[in-house]
């Protein structure tokens, strides 16, 4: 199989698998039991928090709270930040449903919800955000990088604007697609980010583990009560194998590797454009180095993806993580891409190990599939 859907999930590295297996097989004691210090069951949580603090330049390992992943993290932030007292919230138009749906629920329950539009390149309109902010805004959420198009948002500028206009508001960014792919500095350019969510399986860690960076002094209300784990905020037996895998995955991150990934992505796009009439989305924006999102005129993304899958190549179609949904990617619609073109979208997302040969094979298959179904014509000389 050639796997090119790494924005949906990534393959756990063998180091990660070994770390998870070790904790499942050998160190399976409960991290909350008073024997944890003897059995080593308390090690993965500390190691994961320490590794994350190092990678992201956070103030201290205690800034991290662990959850089952970004969906839970985002729901927690919108449900238990100030409880029912959230009255004024702003999100971007292109947030993942795990942000937009909790926000919309707040809106239905009397909270004033503003949605910040994006421009044709998929970048949040800063001027509109500035107009929407008011001194009583309590929470602003803009994702760091979009899962469909890969567009990287100007988080530093947005967070600084929020801080300047509404000093008491909290700024949250969903960094699920960004961690491991672009540099993040929580005490440098991202010093005004208060809350950040992430999932380990997007950077070759295990599924079902992720968390929240919570800047010191930012209070989250308890989310799950019971055994008092995660500083009494999120009860439930600690996912020790998951944390061991998360720590191993963070330890293997080398953002510099993504310079080469970007070269391979750019190579793919130039090869593709040489042989097929494609519209590349957000081509003028700063994008994640691994993401290519495009439409082939006259074709349906789902159909092309199915045909590729039948030939052993896995790609995404728009928002591939919301499985079962056949509606066109919401990000592209928010960017003003027309419905038919948006419905034809294919998302190719590389991993750090994707090879040129795999990308060449994809281009060849796309040409073959499009030619058979009489879709987009080959460009002259292509
Ligand atoms: N936010 C973004 C931007 C995502 O891409 C995803 C996963 N597709 C999530 C949140 C949810 O992550 P998870 O499924 O791991 O909870």
Q: Is residue 378 part of a domain?
A: no
Distances (CA, A) of 10 to 90, 184, 319, 350: 31, 20, 15, 9
For residues 221 and 279, membership in a common domain is answered with no
**382 within a domain of the structure (yes/no):** no
Euclidean distance between the first and the last CA atom of the chain, given in angstroms as a whole number = 27
Span from the CA of 35 to the centroid of ligand 1 (angstroms): 35
User: Residue 130 and residue 152: Cα distance in Å, rounded?
Assistant: 19
Domain edge (last residue) among 251, 272, 298: 251
Query: Mean pLDDT across the chain, nearest whole number?
Result: 93
CA 32 – CA 35 distance, rounded (Å):
8
Higher pLDDT, 328 or 15: 15
353 and 231 share one domain:
no
Residue 299 is part of which domain span? Answer: 2-8+255-372
71 CA to centre of ligand 1 in angstroms: 6
Q: What's the mean pLDDT in 257-265?
A: 97
42 and 177 belong to one structural domain:
yes
- In this prediction, what percent of the chain has a pLDDT beyond 90? 85
Whether residue 113 is found in the same domain as residue 59: yes
| Cα–Cα distance measured from residue 188 to residue 185, given in angstroms and rounded to the nearest whole number | 5
DSSP letter at 135?
T
377 falls within a domain: no
Of 251, 277, 304, the position where a domain reaches its end is 251
**Same domain, yes or no, for 262 and 245?**
no
**Quick one: CA torsion of 144, 190, 354, 359, rounded to 10 degrees?**
50
Given a contact cutoff of 8 angstroms between Cβ atoms, the answer to whether 124 and 92 are in contact is yes
Q: Would you say 112 and 137 are in contact if contact means Cβ atoms under 8 Å apart?
A: no
Query: Which of 377, 380, 149, 381 lies closest to 277 in space, CA to CA?
Result: 377
Q: What is the CATH number of the domain that holds 367?
A: 3.90.1150.10
Same-domain check for residues 18 and 125: yes
Q: In the prediction, which pLDDT does 382 show?
A: 31
Which one of 176, 177, 330 would you pick to mutate in the ligand 1 pocket, going by the greatest count of ligand atoms within 8 A of its CB?
176
Distance from C-alpha of 34 to C-alpha of 55, rounded to nearest angstrom: 30
> Residue 322 pLDDT > 60, yes or no?
no
Q: Please tell me the distance between residue 70's alpha carbon and the centre of ligand 1 in angstroms.
A: 5
What is the residue-wise DSSP string for 152-177?
BP-HHHHHHHHHHH-TT-EEEEE-TT
Q: Is the CB of 176 under 6 A from ligand 1?
A: yes
Instruction: Indicate which CATH number applies to the domain containing 160.
Output: 3.40.640.10
One domain for residues 274 and 198? no
Residues 18 and 167 in one domain: yes
Residue 381 lies in a domain: no
Residue 325 pLDDT greater than 60, yes or no: no
Band (pLDDT 50/70/90 cuts) for residue 319 is very low
What is the 3-class SS of 182-212, one letter each residue?
CCCCCCCCCCCCCEEEEEHHHHCCCCCCEEE
When pLDDT is cut at 50, 70 and 90, the band that residue 299 belongs to is confident
127 and 114, same domain (yes or no): yes
Q: Which of residues 251, 266, 297 is at a domain's end?
A: 251
Q: What is the pLDDT of residues 19-75, one digit of tens each?
A: 999 999 999 999 999 999 899 999 999 999 999 999 999 999 999 999 999 999 999
Q: Which atom of ligand 1 is closest in space to residue 74's alpha carbon?
A: 10
Residue 160 in any domain: the answer is yes
pLDDT band per the 50, 70, 90 thresholds, residue 300 = confident
Helices (H), 57-154: 70-79, 97-108, 126-132
Closest ligand 1 atom to 8 CA: 8
Q: Indicate if 241 and 266 belong to the same structural domain.
A: no
Shared domain for 22 and 83, answered yes or no, is: yes
Predicted local confidence at residue 327, as pLDDT: 67
User: Is 368 a domain residue?
Assistant: yes
- Burial class from Cβ neighbours inside 10 Å (0-12, 13-18, 19+) for residue 168 reads exposed
Residue 379 lies in a domain: no
**Distance of alpha carbon 196 from alpha carbon 190, whole angstroms:** 10
3-class DSSP state for residue 319?
Answer: coil
> What are 182-230's pLDDT values in tens digits?
999 999 999 999 999 999 999 999 999 999 999 999 989 999 999 999 9
How many domains in the chain?
2
pLDDT at 323 over 50: no
Phi and psi at 4, nearest 5°, equal -125, 45
Q: Are strands 64-67 and 345-349 parallel, antiparallel or unpaired?
A: unpaired
- Catalytic (active site) residue 214: no
Three-class secondary structure of residue 149 per DSSP: coil
Cβ of residue 234 lying under 6 Å from some atom of ligand 1: no
Residue 24 and residue 141 in one domain: yes
Q: Please state, in angstroms and rounded to a whole number, the distance separating the CA atoms of residues 369 and 157.
A: 43
Helix, strand, or coil here: 358? helix
pLDDT above 50: residue 11:
yes
Q: Which residues contact 149 (CB under 8 A, 6 or more apart)?
A: 122, 281, 282, 285, 287, 291, 293, 331, 332, 335
In a domain, 380, yes or no: no
């Amino acid at each position: 199989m050639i796997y090119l859907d790494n924005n949906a999930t990534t393959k756990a590295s063998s180091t990660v698998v070994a770390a998870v297996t070790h904790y499942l097989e050998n160190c399976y004691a409960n991290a909350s039991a008073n024997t944890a210090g003897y059995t080593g069951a308390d090690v993965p949580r500390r190691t994961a928090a320490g590794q994350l603090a190092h990678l992201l330049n956070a103030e201290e390992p205690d800034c991290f709270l662990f959850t089952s992943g970004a969906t839970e993290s985002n729901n927690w932030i919108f449900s238990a930040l100030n409880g029912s007292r959230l009255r004024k919230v702003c999100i971007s138009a292109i947030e993942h449903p795990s942000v937009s749906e909790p926000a919309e629920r707040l809106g239905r329950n009397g909270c004033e919800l503003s949605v910040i539009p994006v421009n044709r390149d998929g970048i949040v309109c800063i001027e509109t955000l500035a107009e929407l902010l008011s001194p009583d805004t309590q929470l602003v959420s803009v994702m760091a990088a979009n899962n469909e198009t890969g567009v990287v948002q100007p988080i530093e500028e947005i967070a600084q604007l929020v801080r300047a206009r509404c000093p008491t508001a909290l700024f949250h960014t969903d960094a699920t697609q960004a961690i491991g792919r672009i540099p993040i500095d929580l005490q440098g350019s991202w010093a005004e980010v208060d809350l950040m969510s992430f999932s380990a399986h997007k950077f070759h860690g295990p599924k079902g583990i992720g968390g929240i960076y919570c800047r010191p002094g930012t209070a989250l209300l308890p989310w799950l009560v019971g055994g008092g784990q995660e500083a009494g905020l999120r009860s439930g037996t600690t996912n020790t194998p998951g944390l061991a895998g998360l720590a191993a995955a963070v330890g293997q991150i080398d953002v510099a590797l993504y310079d080469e990934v970007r070269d391979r992505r750019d190579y793919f796009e130039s090869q593709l454009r040489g042989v097929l009439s494609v519209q590349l989305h957000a081509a003028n924006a700063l994008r994640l180095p691994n993401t290519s999102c495009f439409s082939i005129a006259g074709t349906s993304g789902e159909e092309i993806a199915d045909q590729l899958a039948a030939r052993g190549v896995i790609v995404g179609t728009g928002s591939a993580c919301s499985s079962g949904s056949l509606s066109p990617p919401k990000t592209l619609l928010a960017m003003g891409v027309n419905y038919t073109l948006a419905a034809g979208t294919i998302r190719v997302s590389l991993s750090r190990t994707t090879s040129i040969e795999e990308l060449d094979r994809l281009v060849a298959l796309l040409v073959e599939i499009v030619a058979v179904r009489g879709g987009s014509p080959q460009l002259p000389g292509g």
